[in-house]
Amino acid sequence: MSQAFDHIVIGAGISGLGAAHLSARKGFKTLVLEASERIGGCIHSLSFAALGGFWVEAGGHTCFNSYGNLLSILDDLGLTQEVKPKPSLSYKLWRDGQRCSILSALHPLEALGSLPRIFKEPKAGRNVRDYYSAILGSRNYQDLLRHAFQAVICQPADDYPAEVLFRRKPRRKDVVKAFTFDRGISTIPEAIAAQNGLEVRTGQRIERIERHAAGFQVELADGQILDAAYLTLAVPPDAAAQLLPRGFEALRDLVARIPMSELETLVLVFRREDLKALKPFAGLIGVEAPFYSAVSRDFLPDGGYRGLAFHFRPVALTLEEQLQVACAALGVGPEQVIAKQRVHNRLPALRAGHLGLVEQIDRALAGERLGMTGNWFIGISMEDALTRSRLEHRRLFGG
């Protein structure tokens, strides 16, 4: 005997939880199915119980007051008043075995000469390398911007679509510019999942999805059958392509064209006194280094510990090799690490012309009770993912 739901969402990252939140708030019986044992996806405030719950962000690091859809959810959950401001700290470059200032890689005369082009250079359809080389100079791009952008998106930046890297969004003046929470950003997915009217099941393996009546039927690996009037796939594109039921072959072919990028994150924790020679900082930007970036937890100081997340390129470095690289960048020895954990992440590797592909995907979805959301439609930030979830909610449910 099957269980029936108004809306089933597959994937408990911020995209899927956002989609589920919106339908549950509208009164629809909503279920979220997550394959792993953890919710949050790329939001992962990694906590160390042996260190009194000290945490470090192993995924997304910052929320901003320009994240309107996120703030709307925080308002619904009563979390807006709990945000903690993130003070402005500076990043350093890690270049040729040295920590140096960002300005040391800037070519100011080239930037001044190129900057007027920002008013006439088209952005649509261009990759990051072409666009930013044109408006700030090729040397500035090669020596600084390329590495800074790679640090933001944690993947090679040259072919990334320029129009989705930074999108202007209105800011809410009643909220601090950049913020987090006492227990990290994982506070958000945890609060969404805990609300009344929304059920989240982890460790769920899906055998197949088929059309059923006017909606869909989901068969789980343990034999459970679930019926859904509406279904939303909130998983990476390769997983979405595998899950799409019969009748969506054209859509499957489109989605399968979006590649993914692999990322190894190494989280390290030190006693505060062991890093006393290193002043509080936002993190490191790797320049031709094995890691794209290292992001510190110095924005929310702890009396006993300091922590960093090193986002490594997908190269064949062992854990010990990554540890040696990270400690060298910090000027400490591996023996001073008191806690560590390696986390594997996957991010969409968007390419120039990507928004044209999204338009084709949307045409294939038109008129269907199937939604698709994720950080692979209009950008990889939390707000980009939630913007897509809200657009799909309006298409499926109206309002």
pLDDT in tens, 159-171: 999 988 877 788 9
Residue-wise pLDDT for 356-379, tens only, equals: 999 999 999 999 999 999 999 999
Rounded alpha-carbon distances, angstroms, from residue 200 to 20, 141, 185, 374: 9, 44, 19, 18
Lowest mean pLDDT among 31-40, 116-125, 271-280, 338-347: 116-125
Q: Is the pLDDT of residue 98 over 90?
A: yes
How many CB atoms within 10 Å of residue 11? 27
Predicted TM-score (pTM) of this structure: 0.94
Q: Which domains does the chain have, with CATH numbers?
A: 3-43+186-258+350-397 (3.50.50.60), 103-165 (no CATH)
Contact 249, 28 (CB under 8 A): no
Q: What's the CA gap between 350 and 361, in Å, rounded?
A: 15
Q: What average pLDDT does the segment 22-27 reach?
A: 96
Q: What is the 3-state secondary structure (H, E, C) of 145-188?
A: HHHHHHHHHCCCCCCCEHHHHCCCCCCCCCCCCEEECCCCCCHH
Q: Is the pLDDT of residue 1 over 80?
A: no
What pLDDT shows up at residue 315?
Answer: 80
pLDDT tops 90 at residue 330? yes
The predicted structure's pLDDT at residue 121: 87
Lowest mean pLDDT among 37-46, 113-122, 147-156, 262-271: 113-122
Q: Which of 216, 277, 200, 197 is nearest to 29 (CA)?
A: 197
Kindly calculate the radius of gyration of the chain based on its CA atoms and give it in whole angstroms: 22
Predicted confidence (pLDDT) per residue in 231-274, tens digit: 999 999 999 999 999 999 999 999 999 999 999 999 999 999 99
Q: What is the pLDDT of residue 60?
A: 86
Residue 73's pLDDT is: 97
pLDDT value, residue 120: 85
Q: What is the mean pLDDT of residues 344-364?
A: 93
pLDDT category of residue 122 using cuts at 50, 70 and 90: confident
User: Which long-range contacts (C-beta less than 8 Å, at least 24 apart) are formed by 278-282?
Assistant: 278/330, 278/331, 280/89, 281/89, 281/90, 281/91, 281/92, 282/89, 282/90, 282/91
- What mean pLDDT value characterizes the chain? 94
